[in-house]
Structure formats: structure tokens, C-alpha cells
Chains A and B, each alone.
Chain A
């Protein structure tokens, strides 16, 4: 499979990364090189194989329902690039 320029633009949009038109062709080449490389995986017969989705093979521990976190709005907001009082602030969204 190989990516066309439109797909590169669509992916950039999905990933919320602004890409200038000039960069599209470069990215297209680089991404296609990577995709070309991973194409060799098609050689492998994976019939009936269960995918491995995690690094650890065990069941999940469950946490007791206790409130022991939060209640520190200043720490939560301390790194915010922009805030309005006790809220995070972003450019106005028109719905």
C-alpha cells in the first residue's frame, strides 16, 4: 500500500498536526518508505493467531472504590498555558 498526498493531508488532519504544502511530498516519501518496509509482514501466515495486545500476560487488578486523589485545582492548573480563573481556557468554540 502506498500513500497519496491526499491521504497524508488527511492523516495530518486526524493527528492535528499542521503540515505545510511543501512538507507533504517529503512526508509522503518518508512514510511510504516506512510502509514499504513493513510490507514484509504480509509474508507471515497469521491464520488462527490471537493478537498480543499488551506487554504483560496477566489479569487486571481492581482498585477499591476510595477517594484518595484530586482536590488540588491549583496543581492541576499550574502548568496551563492559559486559564480563566479556575478553568482551563481555549479559543472560543462556536457550536
Chain B
């Protein structure tokens, strides 16, 4: 039995489907040559087309189409060689034409699937219903002027991909994992920056609840949720609300709601209750979008390796655990960093260092891979020093800390600080002899069966060599001298 919420009438199952709006990375807008760059002076990145001036016509941007195709391929989805644009008609101050150009009946991308991983390590497949291209609206601001709302059209006409999932999601955790996974795929593909704070990715969350085994009940749509955490909270809060409605003998009404993070609850968008009738019809200013198969094949062959694929390859190629591989492929930069460290070296050791000390150092110093004082080459060199026994693992930790502090290469630090590992058998034999001689009582105890003291002798010898003794050699000689 999966995730259930307990109500007064028993267990309830949550059913969730998501519509993710992802802003396409492109230089110019979907249907005009105005800049798609975020920000800018008000109404600067606006052409007459974006502002819906009389006689203006849309002309589609090839790169936005390519980005949608790449994304579709990344979602293992069917790419529709023929798609169409439709007009979605409604009035709003930041919708200049009085309609949004979208794809309703014939989207560019059809059904696909994404794999999500849950806390317990289990894998679940979430179906993708479709992906379509559409225009973003402008921005209305209600707090800039005492008596007026003001409109900035800089975002109007920027390309969005709407990615619609099947109602396959059954818990807040799955909802969160799904959004993260979509974001990861989009970032790998370079089709959307996934920045939810700036609004370049946002989710409409469809939630309903049902008793196990029932058909779907009425759902509500929570609009414009802008973080993974809020998606999870919104699912939980809305499901709880619906359960209490049903259990108090009421009926859930299909409506659009907003999630209020401050209060941790959803509320009805009463201002939008005025029933919408979008009057979709084929956009007569555009022609059918027909994809050239050769062009598509080229896009496909230039597609980067995606996280799932990369993760499986990391396991196979580097012999690391599925879990570690998951951590290392979290984003493209980390994966690339790991690969350049691991290449030609002990890949498992590299995985431990990257996901252990290196990540900890990034966290501690508040840096990222791009700004870290330790480059992949430096960390690689450190691994080389361990590998060729120039230093041992313990000293390596100290060297790494110095690398983080100073940004110097490990070889230089080892030389500067004289940290080379002692592999001279004679020196170690002398050190061992000295330790044993200084602790006759402990030697006697050991010989009478207190085996645990072996570690004590090794520790003392390492101390005497300032940690530079080759650990294997030290072990061997202690064992020999103790007889």
C-alpha cells in the first residue's frame, strides 16, 4: 500500500497530475525578434508583434521549436511531425492580443515517460501526456501605483513549454521528485534554466483524493506554484482540505486555487471564477508546423547524455554504487567534474572524494563547482598522490583542507609541508622498536591475549612519524616485531 492520508472515514489516496510551464532558453521570443532575456527596462524587450498592435503577425522561432523537440526526446516522448497552433481566447490586461497562441489540439510532443526515484530507493515511472509550445503573457503589477495596475510586456511572447503529466503521482514526495526530475532533464538539455524563483519554471498542480480502488474524484488546480517544496506542501494541504470536504458530507468543486505558502493552505481564486470559455481555434496567422525528419535526426544525434543514462553508465563504467552515481549525475557540472577526476584513476575513490570531502567543502565555503578553489585537476592530482603512495589517506585529508584554504595544487603543498609518506622500512622499524620499548606493560598485555592493543601500537607509530608512515608497512612491521 502506497502513501495514504488517514481521515475520519479511513484511508485516502492522493491523485496528482502536474502541468509544468518551462520557459524555453532562446535569444528571441517565440513569434517575434524581441529579446527573450529576463529583466530589462519596462516594455523594452517588446516588439509591435508582442504588444498586439494592429496588423502585426507572428513568425515562429526555429530555435524554440528545436528546444521543444529536444525536450520531447529527453522525455522519451513521441515527436509529432505535424503540429498546429491554436488561439486561446481570453481578456486580460497583460495579454495584448486578447488571445494566447498555444497548441491545443495538435501538440508538438505526445506521450512520454520520466523515471523518478524515491527516498526508499524505489523507482517509479510517471507518464507524460504531452508537451506543447505557447507564449508567455506580460506582467501586471498591482502595487506600483496607488490607483492603477501597471503592465510590463517584456515577458509577453517569450516561449514556454507546457509539460503535462498523467495523473500518475500519488504522494507529495512523488510530486516533488517529479518536478526535480523534470528540472534536471531540462537543465541537462539546456532547454530551460529551471529557475523557479525567477519564474522560468512553474507548476500548476492538479489534486484530487479518492478511497483506494475508486475512480477519480473531482480535482482542483492549484496555479503557479513556484518551488519544489511548495509543490509538495500544496499537494498535502489541498488533499487534506478535500478530505475534510468529502468527510463532512460536502462536495469538492472543480476550481482554480492558489497556494499561500505563508498560511500553508490553498484558497479559491474567486476573482477568476468568471467562467472561462477559451474558444480555441486554429491560429490562422500560422501554418501547420511540419518537422523535417533529417533536421530532427540531427537534433537527436546532438542530444547530450541524459541523467538516467549517465547514471547507469557511471555504475557500469566506474563500478560505483547506484546511489553514488545518482548523487554525481545530479547536474551536468557535477557529473563532468566527477568524470574528469575519475578518468584514469581509482573511480570509486574519486566518487568518495567528490561526494564526500569535496561537496562538504563547497557547502562549508559557500562555493559552487565553478567557483571552488579546488579544480578537478587539483583533486585528480591529490588522488594521484594517494595512488602512487606519495601520501597516505590521512595526510590526503589534511592536504585537501590546505587546497581549499589556499587554492594551491596538492603536489606543491606536499612538497612545501614535507608530507611525503615514509616508506623507508628501516625508519619505520626503528620507530616501531622505540614504541614497543617505551610500552613494555602494553606489550605484555598484548601477548597475554589483548589483541585490541594492536591498534594502539600502530597509532603510536603513526604519531611518531607525524602521520606520514605508510599504513600497510607500519601494520606489517608492528605485527612482525610483536612476534
Contact = CB atoms under 8 A, between A and B. Distances in A.
A64 B144 CA distance: 37
Contact of B144 (A71, A82, A87): A87
Contacts of A86: 41-43, 152
A79 to B, nearest CB: 8
Contact of A58 (B63, B144, B287): B287
B288 interface: yes
B471 interface: no
A17 to B, nearest CB: 11
A62 B296 CA distance: 14
Interface stretch (B29-37, B180-188, B342-350, B396-404): B29-37
Given A62-B60, A65-B26, A65-B28, A89 B149 contact: yes
B222 to A, nearest CB: 15
Interface in A34-84: 53-56, 58-73, 75-77, 82, 84
B284 A70 contact: no
Nearest to A59: B290
Nearest to A57: B287
A76 B287 contact: no
For the residues of A in contact with B, the DSSP-based class is loop
A62 B61 contact: yes
Given A53-B284, A88-B150, A90-B93, A69 B47 contact: yes
A1 interface: no
A76 B27 contact: no
A14 interface: yes
Given A60-B286, A87-B151, A67 B43 contact: no
A59 B65 CA distance: 14
Nearest to A74: B43
Contact of B148 (A54, A73, A89): A89
A85 B152 CA distance: 11
Contact of B288 (A16, A59, A72, A87): A59
A53 B285 CA distance: 10
Nearest to A85: B42
B474 interface: no
Contacts of B290: 59-60
B48 A76 contact: yes
Contacts of A89: 145, 148-151
A75 B47 CA distance: 9
Nearest to A87: B150
Contact of A54 (B93, B277, B284): B284
Contacts of B45: 70-71
A77 to B, nearest CB: 6
Q: Which of A14, A53, A67, A91 gathers most chain B CB within 10 Å?
A: A67
Nearest to B37: A67
B140 interface: yes
A71 B46 CA distance: 7
B95 to A, nearest CB: 12
Interface string B129-157: 00000000000111011011111110000
B43 A14 contact: no
Contact of B42 (A75, A87, A94): A87
Contact of B142 (A67, A85, A95): A95
Given A55-B284, A84-B150, A69 B34 contact: yes
B47 A70 contact: yes
Contacts of A14: 277, 279
Given A70-B33, A94-B142, A95-B142, A60 B287 contact: yes
B327 to A, nearest CB: 35
Given A71-B45, A76-B153, A92-B142, A82 B148 contact: yes
B32 A65 contact: no
Interface in B275-298: 277, 279, 281-282, 284, 286-290
A67 B65 contact: no
Nearest to B62: A62
Q: Which of A55, A73, A82 gathers most chain B CB within 10 Å?
A: A73
Contacts of A88: 43, 93, 150-151, 153
Contacts of B84: 53
Given A54-B284, A92-B149, 17 more contacts: A53-B84, A59-B290, A65-B27, A65-B62, A65-B64, A68-B33, A70-B33, A73-B42, A73-B44, A76-B51, A84-B145, A85-B150, A93-B93, A93-B142, A93-B271, A94-B142, A95-B142
Interface of B: 26-28, 32-35, 41-51, 59-65, 84, 91, 93, 140-142, 144-145, 147-153, 271, 277, 279, 281-282, 284, 286-290
8 contacts: A53-B84, A62-B61, A67-B27, A69-B33, A70-B33, A70-B34, A86-B41, A90-B148
